[in-house]
Structure 1
């Protein structure tokens, strides 16, 4: 028997098995009126009502529904109300500039744009057929409880979400994740993380980021209460861990650092000791940070590696019984590796050391970019763009980033995009943008600039120029002026030479 996977399967099970259990605790401090008292039965009702509302707007199955929002119950519900009834959700990074958001809405062909009230002015000039500011006023039109939604004949090969990510091009690429991608990622992730219906999940990870790594689906399927936090603050994370009995959360290294800093001033025992599992991705934190998570917080540190294009889970590194008798420092040294292949994932390295992957979590393709899709999936393998090595335990360590991508604070930044922006300044003749080590953010963005003859420009002016045109996190944190940049005989920038002095003495060329 073949029954196609659907993203809605997870909520269907939550309603059937855990209908009366708390499903979502919405962020209380937000500009929209919070959705309160959300049992999983109520979440399922809201999803059906949202699908019926889209029916009433004549938004056909297969059409794209874009949403730009901070974490909220309305955003979380849309993963089911949109995807679960045959439409395609396009979750957009709320930190992007108006022009960047406009590009994604237009490129995806979204006919609906849902917006957080705080971002209403940001998207005001973006043309779209249907526009809603999320909140009590729009609920009346978006949620139609008086009609049954049009049923969707599940197709696990259909695109469920399009997630835009920075990479090797100046414009972000739309990653098409199918229902099968989402289903396999959520299920294997929950299995490796040991999730059960006794867990409580805290959404410290932005839900737009690779669909919150699949946690809205995984946690719903196992009846796990999901606690929504809107803006990240280390002390507030600790307070919610204490208040709700949180047992698992996902985070970028910068969020881990924020919690460790807050713990220094915490009065009393750290909440969640011997109970919380924190799953980290984006860039491996220093060994000392991993050790501090165990010794100072008493939390279990789990590392994963993956990309938006892989839903994202490719590897997982979780402490194992063989490591029980070694010191916390020795364990931390093992845990900073990317990890071992997740169930159903095959990894290898190419002749030049690039990590290649095969799995049911690998993307269907890039939206409207067939040539880029063919390039990334050449030879039946997904080309990650990361250089890595496997050790004697078959654990992967990422050593270098072969694509022009910088990961800072868990966010992907295309160095090409930043270079393109700097080139638009009349004082810039040549520029190379590179990632350099940073204790807080893992990597930070440095621009190496050759100015035009006679130009008079400052570091602050160039950084301001970028911040006015790009999302703030994409702007360089420093600019270094050079008389020339290292190039090959054919004129190509030799970024490995430009990066080398900043990474000297480090085994890996990424953080």
Structure 2
């Protein structure tokens, strides 16, 4: 059988007919491949049957703490099997799983737990002090991985206690529907307090379905990921594996030095990575493990620049770089590009997915012709394939759902059924009468051998178009002056896109999830460390 035929043989037919649920998918996998490995955490393996049993044990424990259908359970956990057991155990009760970034502390942490209304939190032992240091009056129980005796707070219990994992007892049953709220995933909060995106169980199944469409799985294939399990990318990979009844190897965090040894150990033939990892590995030295693994990975998924993707193909023998996708937390897989679709237009982010109607519109939501940039908006053609709104924020939901179209805040255009991303709407620049994509300018700076990160944005008051500023972080050990960077910019950018202001920083202002907060950079404006090209007497002219 071909990979695609196997995909349709194993993957849920319920989804195609109108909806699926994670727990139905788990039951199908247990019935068909119960004794086959589903999860691999650095050699700790769990079959589908064991995964269901552990999830049921934890569900009974949560039920004994009063958790029921509709209640929220927060987890703040590093990648481990307990993330899966907590997630599935929560959903078995009809309750809602709320994964929280492990980097969150203080107000970031308090806001998401309090906003969700969760009464139970499951966390790593070392995060307990951080939880107890913020005001969480509604939280009744904190379950920690490891010993809990050192805390005097009576709400803290060990996750490994008999009370929390109940091996014997009444069955756990919940008549799940595809529309059931299964997860709250909070946005990064780049423009204000983070908002909880409400996700149905079919929404997550739809993510997995299209992941498998983009990279059709082969028999007994093992996927690999280091992506944190509070991110959409990792969730999509796990659900895809569940639907195709394969196996997935998950590590706690990414490491350049151990990546190839992990790929070799796990036997993985597909992998799911976050963007920076592609560059780091492409620039790393050969190792014996890497050389032995050349050609082992047949497909890798994640955003990667075209020139880096070519390195992965030629150096590592990866045949399929699944880099053509577009979406956001509110709607994932708005574009899907099957592996066999190799003749793609340059610069596109994929073929528009059949599940969505997608348009580019002007500021009045009027449809723009093909090829003309505007704000990307979308709406579903099928039920329960995108988020169902922001948790407890109907006004915010209505704001982005103007005229019954979901507004992404991104600029792009459509051509012959393909979507082309241009920039974030709030980051789009205009200089000397020309429209400029900060996204494209930043990509140019990332090609500089001394630059690790770059942010391009407009600053200056009283100027109709603003002035362009670039802030960069240098690679370890690199040395570069602002004037040298300016000279390089003149050679590598259109004349109208060369910034006036340059700044070299130790780090860029980011959210705890690693997204650059340009609104804070814009607010800083022209700082004392900013170098001014005009003041230095350097003029850029049309060539």
Q: Which TM-score bucket, shorter chain as reference?
A: 0.7 to 0.9
Name the residue aligned to 1:375. 399
Cα offset for 1:50? 1.2
Of the two, which has the highest radius of gyration?
Answer: 2
Name the residue aligned to 2:8. none
1:308 maps onto 2:320 in alignment: no
Name the residue aligned to 1:400. 423
Secondary structure of the structure 1 residue equivalent to 2:241: helix
Name the residue aligned to 2:142. 131
Name the stretch that deviates more: 134-143 or 71-80.
134-143
Name the residue aligned to 1:327. none
8 Å CA contact 1:64, 1:111 repeated in 2 = yes
2:427 and 2:125 map into 1 onto residues whose CA distance is: 34
- Residues 130-167 of structure 1 deviation map (CA, whole Å, 9 limit, x = unaligned): 10112474123332111134421213222110000125
1:258 maps onto 2:280 in alignment: yes
1:205 maps onto 2:220 in alignment: no
Name the residue aligned to 1:363. 387
Q: Which of residues 208, 228, 236 is equivalent to 2:258?
A: 236
2:395 and 2:283 map into 1 onto residues whose CA distance is: 45
2:244 and 2:527 map into 1 onto residues whose CA distance is: 59
Cα offset for 1:447? 8.5
After superposition, residues 30-429 of structure 1 pair within 5 angstroms as: 36-126=44-134, 127=136, 128-135=139-146, 137-140=158-161, 141-167=163-189, 169-210=191-232, 212-262=234-284, 264-266=286-288, 269=291, 271=293, 273=295, 275-281=297-303, 285-299=304-318, 300-303=320-323, 304-310=325-331, 312-320=332-340, 323=343, 334=346, 337-352=348-363, 353-359=374-380, 360-392=384-416, 394-403=417-426
1:267 and 1:37 map into 2 onto residues whose CA distance is: 22
8 Å CA contact 1:53, 1:144 repeated in 2 = yes
8 Å CA contact 1:63, 1:110 repeated in 2 = yes
Secondary structure of the structure 2 residue equivalent to 1:258: helix
Q: Which of residues 25, 48, 51 is equivalent to 1:10?
A: 25
Change (3 A) 1:168 1:118: closer
Cα offset for 1:340? 0.6
Name the stretch that deviates more: 394-403 or 262-271.
262-271
Secondary structure of the structure 2 residue equivalent to 1:269: helix
Cα offset for 1:470? 6.2
8 Å CA contact 1:51, 1:149 repeated in 2 = no
Cα offset for 1:295? 1.0
Cα offset for 1:388? 0.8
Cα offset for 1:379? 2.4
1:442 and 1:370 map into 2 onto residues whose CA distance is: 40
Cα offset for 1:319? 5.0
In angstroms, what is the RMSD of aligned CA positions?
3.6
Q: Which of residues 506, 512, 525 is equivalent to 1:471?
A: 512
8 Å CA contact 2:210, 2:336 repeated in 1 = no
Q: Which of residues 35, 51, 54 is equivalent to 1:20?
A: 35
Structure 1 unpaired stretches of 5+: 29-35, 324-330, 406-434, 452-458, 485-503, 506-511
Change (3 A) 1:83 1:43: same
Secondary structure of the structure 1 residue equivalent to 2:284: helix
TM-score, normalised relative to structure 2: 0.70
1:322 and 1:56 map into 2 onto residues whose CA distance is: 53
Name the residue aligned to 2:480. none
Structure 2 unpaired stretches of 5+: 1-13, 148-157, 364-373, 429-440, 462-471, 474-504, 529-540
8 Å CA contact 1:47, 1:80 repeated in 2 = yes
Cα offset for 1:346? 2.4
- Residues 87-112 of structure 1 deviation map (CA, whole Å, 9 limit, x = unaligned): 00001111223320111000000111
1:482 maps onto 2:526 in alignment: yes
Cα offset for 1:389? 1.6
8 Å CA contact 2:271, 2:297 repeated in 1 = no
- Residues 148-202 of structure 1 deviation map (CA, whole Å, 9 limit, x = unaligned): 3442121322211000012563111100001121122222322232024421011
2:427 and 2:85 map into 1 onto residues whose CA distance is: 34
Cα offset for 1:271? 1.4
Cα offset for 1:380? 2.5
Kindly indicate whether structure 1 or structure 2 has the higher relative contact order, using CA contacts under 8 Å at least 6 residues apart: 1
1:59 and 1:387 map into 2 onto residues whose CA distance is: 43
Change (3 A) 1:305 1:475: closer
